[in-house]
Amino acid sequence: MSDDGLNSTGLVVPAEIRQQVTLTTLDRIYNWSRRNSVWPMMFGLACCAIEMICTAAARYDFARFGMEVMRPSPRQADVMIVSGTVTKKMIPQIVRLYNQMAEPKYVIAMGACASGGGPFKEGYNVVAGVDKFVPVDVYIPGCPPTPQALLFGLITLQKKIDKESLKTVRWYSKEPVLDIPIPVLGPDLMDPRKYEAIKEYNAAQAEQAIAIEQLDQTPPLNQA
């Protein structure tokens, strides 16, 4: 076995057996084997998906990095590359898919729209960045990022995986990892984690309206 950066212990291996033996730590080999076989989920939303397909195609083949196949099923995928604008109508499905992915899982926000809303941020149907609902590991800016930029982002993810340690990873920790609650499409998008905040805000607005009415003895102004 060649060295390949696995030998991190620093101990010296005798020359005769250097071709057959290498010394490494459990962390190192665990991370090395996982970072070289990260399978993306076939999940393209918009224009960035076309650049992702071009990255998967012959010219910028990302199978060279171990992302051999794009799996349509979330159970078999390791990384979800959110490529394209995330809209309110689509975010429940994205959260559902994220919950269904098996640990260890990563999320890459590809493009300006997935990172922070992008040029469509002011729209009424656009979620300003997928990290409002789903934890993101790597952000790749650009509109759209060229395939070479996406490959650089994937290499950044691989570097992040290299730095992980078995003692601190999420999936081996003692606390249970809870599913992210799925947003509901009401009069506007509702995040179940914010129900309390919505009720408090509405109650505060109602109190304010009553206070103004009592103060002025005039009908309250129409609120939005």
Partner 1 sequence: MNGLGIIKGLGVTLKHFISTYVEDFRWRGKLYRTEKGLAFRSSSKMRGVFTVQYPEEKLPLPEEFRFIPFLVYDELPNGEKDFRCTSCGICAKVCPPQCIWIYRSNDPVTGRPIPAPAEFYIDIDICMNCGMCAEYCPFDAIIMDHDYEISSYDRMKDDIYNKEKLGKPASYYQGIRPTNYARQATARAEKEAAKAAGKKDV
Partner 2 sequence: MSEQDVVTQVPDLTSRFPEQVVKDTRQGYEGYIVQPDFLLEFARTMRDEDGYDYLSSVTGVDYLPEGKLEVVYHVYKTIGDKGLVFKVQLPRDNSIVTSLVSIYPGAEFQEREAYDLLGIRFENHPDLRRILMWEGFAGYPLRKDWKEPFYEEDFKPFKTRWPQGKIVRAEDGTPFKDNVEYPSDFDPENWVSESESKLYESLKVIQQESDGMKTDRIIVNLGPQHPSTHGVFRMVAVVEGETIVELKPVFGYLHRNHEKIGERNTFLQNIPFTDRLDYISSMSNNFGYVLAVEKLMNIKPPDRAEYLRVMMAELTRISSHVMAIGFLLNDLGAYFTPALYALEERELILDIFEAVSGSRMMCNYMRFGGVVRDLPEGVLEKVNELVFDRLPRKIDELDRYLTENEIVRNRCEGVGVLTPEQAIALSCAGPMLRASGVPYDVRRAEPYSIYDQLDFDVAIGIHGDVYDRYLVRIEEIRQSLKILQQVVKQIPDGPIMTGKPAYQVRVPAGEAYGRVEGPKGELGYYVISNGKPNPWRYHVRAPSFINLTSLAPMCRGEKIADAIVVLGAIDIVLGEVDR
Question: If we measure between CA atoms, which residue out of 134, 118, 123 comes closest to residue 43?
Answer: 134
Q: How, if at all, do strands 189-190 and 79-83 pair? A: unpaired
Give, as ranges, the residues between 28 and 67 that touch partner 1 (CB under 8 A). 58-61, 64
Q: Which is nearer to partner 1, 109 or 189 (CB)?
A: 109
106 binds, among partner 2, partner 1, none (CB under 5 to 8 A by kind): none
Backbone angles phi, psi at 15, to 5 degrees: -65, -35
**3 state DSSP class of 87:** strand
Stretches 71-79, 80-88, 151-159, 194-202: which one binds partner 1 (CB under 8 A)? 151-159
Backbone angles phi, psi at 84, to 5 degrees: 130, 175
Work out whether the CA dihedral 191, 197, 200, 202 comes out positive or negative: negative
Quick note: the x/- pattern for partner 2 over 132-151, rule CB under 8 A, is: x----------xx-x-----
Give, as ranges, the residues between 67 and 106 that touch partner 1 (CB under 8 A). none
Q: How far apart are CA 29 and CA 159, in angstroms?
A: 14
Stretches 20-28, 33-41, 116-124, 170-178: which one binds partner 1 (CB under 8 A)? 116-124
Residue ranges binding partner 1 (CB under 8 A): 58-61, 64, 109, 112, 115-122, 129, 131, 136-143, 145-146, 148-149, 151-153, 155-156, 160
